[in-house]
Amino acid sequence: MKCDHCDNLATVHLIEIKGGKKIEKHLCEEHAIKEGVAVKVQSAPINDLLEKFVLKHSGPEATDEPLLCPSCDTTYDQFRKNGVLGCPDCYSTFAEPLKHLLERAHEGASKHFGKVPQRAGIDEIRQQRLIRLRRDLEDAVTQEQYERAAQIRDELEEAEID
């Protein structure tokens, strides 16, 4: 549909009731602004944002031997282009490149550790804390931060006793 004032595409459609009469207006963005209608700026759909993130952080382009999921025939290059895996087996097939992508998305962590629901109970919360401390200890040792590693080790020993 064209704008009521020009030949541009109408992107704003208004219905006003004046004096009991229904008045329809079809306006392009420019004429909508001139009439004082607030035009909402379109934000990028989440798919587009994810696709750009995947392309930017999922590693190099295709190689001579493309990674191919044996279950659904999805290639890693297809995943890079559309940001969607074909089946659950794709996660294990593309484990190595996905690890780097997850590390980037989770600011260095290769696994997602969410919050523990309150209803999970004290044992689950304690278990999650122990897992986090062990991971932090391993990271500290890998980064040769031995003083920090010693503090974490002591905290871990205390947590295991409790």
Is 130 domain-assigned? Answer: yes
Do 97 and 58 meet the contact criterion of CB atoms below 8 Å apart?
A: yes
Same domain, 84 and 125: no
Q: How far apart are CA 124 and CA 47, in angstroms?
A: 34
Least confident of 101-105, 118-122, 156-160: 118-122
Q: How confident is the model at residue 62 (pLDDT cuts 50, 70, 90)?
A: very low
Same domain, 35 and 67: no
What count of other Cβ atoms lies within 10 Å of the Cβ of residue 11? 16
Residue 44 has pLDDT above 60, yes or no: no
Q: How far apart are CA 42 and CA 12, in angstroms?
A: 13
Do 15 and 24 meet the contact criterion of CB atoms below 8 Å apart?
A: yes
**Which are the contacts of 24, defined by CB distance < 8 A and separation ≥ 6?**
13, 14, 15
pLDDT for res 150 = 92
Is 58 domain-assigned? Answer: yes
Is 110 domain-assigned? Answer: no
Same domain, 20 and 59: no
Range of the domain at 97: 46-105
Question: Taken in order 87, 91, 93, 97, is the CA torsion positive or negative?
Answer: positive
pLDDT for res 74 = 87
What domain count does the chain have?
3
Is 111 domain-assigned? Answer: no
Q: How far apart are CA 11 and CA 100, in angstroms?
A: 41
Average predicted confidence (pLDDT) for the chain: 77
Average pLDDT over residues 15-27: 85
Question: Token digits for 95?
Answer: 């484990």
φ and ψ at residue 137, rounded to 5 degrees: -65, -45
Same domain, 23 and 61: no
Is 113 domain-assigned? Answer: no
Question: Token digits for 9?
Answer: 């595409």
What single string gives the DSSP state of each residue in 35-95? Answer: TTPPPPPPPPPHHHHHHHHHHHHS-----SS--B-TTT--BHHHHHHH---SSTHHHHHTH
Same domain, 53 and 99: yes
Same domain, 51 and 99: yes
Q: How confident is the model at residue 156 (pLDDT cuts 50, 70, 90)?
A: confident
Least confident of 35-39, 67-71, 113-117: 113-117
Same domain, 101 and 50: yes
pLDDT for res 120 = 60
pLDDT for res 4 = 92
Is 37 domain-assigned? Answer: yes
Average pLDDT over residues 136-147: 89
pLDDT for res 71 = 86
Is 9 domain-assigned? Answer: yes
Residue 53 has pLDDT above 70, yes or no: no
pLDDT for res 97 = 79
81-115 per-position pLDDT tens digit: 777 888 888 888 888 877 777 776 665 555 555 55
Is 112 domain-assigned? Answer: no
Q: CA dist 73 to 58, 63, 70, 80, Å?
A: 19, 16, 6, 14
Question: Token digits for 1?
Answer: 């549909």
Q: Please state, for a pLDDT cut of 70, what percent of the chain lies above it.
A: 70
Same domain, 8 and 52: no
